[in-house]
Chain A
Amino acid sequence: MGNRVLNLEQISKAFPGVQALKDVSFSLEEGEVLALLGENGAGKSTLVKCLTGAYEPTSGSMEIFGQTYERISPGEARSSSIAAVYQEFNLIPDLPVVENVLMGNLPGNGVLVDYPAMLKRSKEMFDSFGVDIDPKMPLGCLSPAMMQIVEIAKALMLNPRILILDEPTAPLTAKETEVLFKIIDRIKRDGVAVIYISHRLEEVFRICDRYVVMRDGTKVGENNIASSTRADIIKLMIGRELTNYYPEHPTRATEEIVMQVENLSGNGVKNISFSLHKGEILGFAGLVGAGRTELMSLLFCDVKPSSGSVIINGQPFTGKQPWHAIKAGMSLLPEDRKRRGLLLDKSVAVNITLASIKKLCQFGVINFTQENERIQYYCDRLEVKTPSYRQEVQYLSGGNQQKLIVAKWLSTDSNILIFDEPTRGIDVGAKHEIYDLIEKLADDGCSIIMVSSEFEELIGIADRIAVMSEGELAGFVEKDEFDKEKLLDMASGRR
């Protein structure tokens, strides 16, 4: 140990409107396992992408095995022996396991592929892991856990000197997690440096030597695992004290139940039951992949549930398509607002009245006077800033785009609004406006479901928080018991 393999100097990365990374510096030594920690959106994945060449840092430099780069191409990253296993699979389900493992790295004489050698190499790799995977099987037949093992094997086939693992245990069960830890132990002894990203702190304590904590795109601390406690790390991750960043408000939730969900299953979620009260802001917390967005798709009838029932305003709701949900007074502000919420190359006007245009028609013909009145009404009420109603929405800021979607739904007389990650990719000032807006809607008697990966945000704004973990409802937390650590524990399936 002791040889420095990687040194990051003041890496910054800006996206339009968002500073994703700001002056992040740390180094990595041979044979070391470094935990990269932080909440969702802290900038961990962005940093990894800068290292593997997927993103180009805005400023700063990286020294990799003595060589300094301001930016690195994916090819250079690879020839510098950096390999990464991302959260999403980069595999082709229709191809056999062996071709996936050696993708882009096929042995042979340059023209013909040496298939027996491929089989042998993957077999040896799996044997050394102690797992039983038939390399000839199509990848799609494997379980997600085994696919993850294949993904790791693929990275190791490149003989990396620096291996980045982004939430590698998310799809793994306890047994495969042990397999992974053994692999990490082995390559560590061979001198490979590992950057390990995980939400599961007990794993970090088990296999990591050192940690770096990130928050809001900056490094907020680093230390040796041995001289730290869980509490230290969580404090660093959570960071700033809860101040009056969020609007002060008493709960406006009434006794009246507007939506009752019973044992809803399907689309990757199981047995979800909850009720939503009139005027309530119900938060949905959880880690990435906990099934929150999937649940919202079920509620909004975008995906058919396999079982369960929904009651809206006392009536059984049997909608099959989003327009049934809309008729019942529901609306969805999707997580990916640019691809699922807005017609980017259409005007502010068209977007606002898209869901309600039928009501502004006589015999199918649009009454433009009425339409303009409505657009003006909502733009004023929500304080949408746009040079004109004919402006294409792609040129508006994220906050204004989000307001347009809210306007679209308000004009359908929606009273159950589902906000899925409404503040993602929106800068701090605009976040405030969205919070205020949500509070105002609740004041007006709307019921709100708010999905967010930022616990702090939910604690600041929700009346009650439902926590999801691995497709199931882990429990509810009432307002007087809101506590970030408790939420994090429940979300990572610990209680």
Chain B
Amino acid sequence: MQKILRQIGAVIRNIPAQLILLVLLVFFAVRLKGMFFTVDNLIAIIRQVTTLGIAALGVSFLMITANLDFSIGSIYAFVGVFTAVMYNLGWNIYLAMFVSILLGIALSVLTGWISITFKIPRLITSLAMLTAISGLAVIISGNKTIYGLPDNIKWLGQGYIWIIPISTFIFVILAFLVAFILNRTYLGRYLFAVGGNEDVARLSGINANKIKYIASIISGFLASLAGLVAMSRTFSGSPFAGGSLSTDVISAAVLGGVSIMGGTGKTSGLVTGIFIVGVLATGLNMMNMNTNAQNIIKGLMLLVAVVLDSWTKRKAAAAK
């Protein structure tokens, strides 16, 4: 039985993420008739995957170095709340955004510092940080969504160039930039080396901790940027905005071939993974499935993704 399952797993694993996306698109197109493939709906999907995608690009840096981070959802919520609160206290909006990004980066670096210094898996420290940062966001917001943001930040989350959202342009540019860093710079090589085998990386003269801090900075920055885009789009700062973002982002990355064990991952796969998660969420919403049922599906999706990931890794290990 297990053997059969394993074979099925191997077959599924060899199907590119692109095919999974195609199947989903066909399924929703048939199921929702003409409602799904409308220009408005497709743009809605693209806009929805933008914030998810920006955060996922960031966390992929951590995942490639074999560090999982579940605190990005809370950073994402925190920066929105902090910016909105500070603006309402009389700060310049751009100053508030700038400081909140710095804080977002600082929180991510702190998570990294704790796991590096005390040799604790980042998965665990980030869970602790998730709880703490969410609590902080609730306290500074007074447990409510903060409104009253100025109109001059609308462009970030609600602006369009022709029919394409500005935030989507930002995402596309970032995706190309990330692909460039991973494939064409020595930083990319170092990230993969540290995630593939930290001992080998260190003994080859790579400052593994420095690379992990760089990944932390990038991840913190992009999670904050995603939070600000979301703040601009909803025109408010909500301490509850992060929700399932962390799991969504990790599912997207793993589905796209970024291994949770580190050392592998491609930007093209990652972007496909992001669309899988986005299309699924939009489609299920349009089918009027309730949020709890959607959460079940999201949870199962993450499980399936990591099980398949583990199978491939073990198969590769067995080949050695």
Contact indicator A354/B320 (Cβ below 8 Å): no
Contact indicator B196/A343 (Cβ below 8 Å): yes
Q: How far is the CA of A355 from the CA of B320 in the complex (A)?
A: 24
The total of Cβ contacts below 8 Å across the A-B interface reads: 75
Q: For chain B, what secondary structure do more than half of its interface residues adopt (helix, strand, loop), or is it mixed?
A: helix
A322: chain B residues within 8 A (beta carbon): 202-205
Evaluate whether A343 and B185 lie within 8 angstroms (CB atoms) in the complex, with A323-B205, A326-B205 already known: no
B206: chain A residues within 8 A (beta carbon): 323, 354
Contact indicator A339/B199 (Cβ below 8 Å): yes
Contact indicator A366/B185 (Cβ below 8 Å): yes
The residue from B187, B192, B200, B316 contacting A341, defined by CB atoms under 8 A apart: B200
Shortest Cβ distance from A354 into B: residue: B204
> Which segment, of A1-9, A344-352, A383-391, faces chain B?
A344-352
Q: How far is the CA of A29 from the CA of B187 in the complex (A)?
A: 63
Q: How far is the CA of A340 from the CA of B199 in the complex (A)?
A: 6
Contact indicator A341/B184 (Cβ below 8 Å): no
The residue from A346, A361, A408, A412 contacting B196, defined by CB atoms under 8 A apart: A346
Q: How far is the CA of A353 from the CA of B184 in the complex (A)?
A: 13
- Shortest CB-to-CB span from A363 to chain B, Å, is 9
Shortest Cβ distance from A330 into B: residue: B205
Contact indicator A355/B197 (Cβ below 8 Å): no
A358 within 8 A of B: yes
B186: chain A residues within 8 A (beta carbon): 357-358, 360-361, 364, 366
Report which residue of B199, B205, B207 has the largest number of chain A beta carbons within 10 angstroms of its beta carbon.
Answer: B205
Contact indicator B200/A340 (Cβ below 8 Å): yes
- Shortest CB-to-CB span from B311 to chain A, Å, is 15
Evaluate whether A361 and B185 lie within 8 angstroms (CB atoms) in the complex, with A339-B197, A344-B320 already known: yes
The residue from B207, B264, B320 contacting A323, defined by CB atoms under 8 A apart: B207
- Shortest CB-to-CB span from B190 to chain A, Å, is 8
A5-25 vs B, CB cutoff 8 Å, 1 = contact: the mask equals 000000000000000000000
Evaluate whether A394 and B320 lie within 8 angstroms (CB atoms) in the complex, with A357-B189, A364-B187 already known: yes
B202: chain A residues within 8 A (beta carbon): 302, 321-322
Count contacts on B: residues with CB < 8 A to the other chain: 23
Q: Which 6 A-B pairs have the closest CB atoms?
A: A323-B205, A326-B205, A355-B204, A343-B196, A357-B186, A354-B204
Contact indicator B184/A343 (Cβ below 8 Å): no
- Shortest CB-to-CB span from B237 to chain A, Å, is 36
B15: chain A residues within 8 A (beta carbon): none
Evaluate whether A334 and B203 lie within 8 angstroms (CB atoms) in the complex, with A339-B197, A344-B320 already known: yes
B227 within 8 A of A: no
- Shortest CB-to-CB span from B265 to chain A, Å, is 12
B201: chain A residues within 8 A (beta carbon): 354
Shortest Cβ distance from B320 into A: residue: A394
- Shortest CB-to-CB span from B203 to chain A, Å, is 5
Within 8 A of B (CB), among A210-250: none
Evaluate whether A350 and B203 lie within 8 angstroms (CB atoms) in the complex, with A339-B197, A345-B263 already known: no
A332 within 8 A of B: yes
Shortest Cβ distance from A300 into B: residue: B203
Evaluate whether A342 and B205 lie within 8 angstroms (CB atoms) in the complex, with A350-B189, A366-B189, A394-B320 already known: no
B193 within 8 A of A: yes
B263: chain A residues within 8 A (beta carbon): 343, 345-346
A296-322 vs B, CB cutoff 8 Å, 1 = contact: the mask equals 000010100000000000000000011
30 A-B pairs whose Cβ atoms sit less than 8 Å apart in the complex: A321-B202, A321-B207, A322-B202, A323-B205, A323-B206, A323-B207, A326-B204, A327-B205, A338-B320, A340-B197, A340-B200, A341-B200, A343-B263, A345-B263, A345-B264, A345-B316, A346-B193, A353-B189, A354-B200, A354-B201, A354-B206, A355-B204, A355-B205, A357-B186, A357-B189, A358-B186, A361-B186, A364-B187, A394-B320, A412-B205
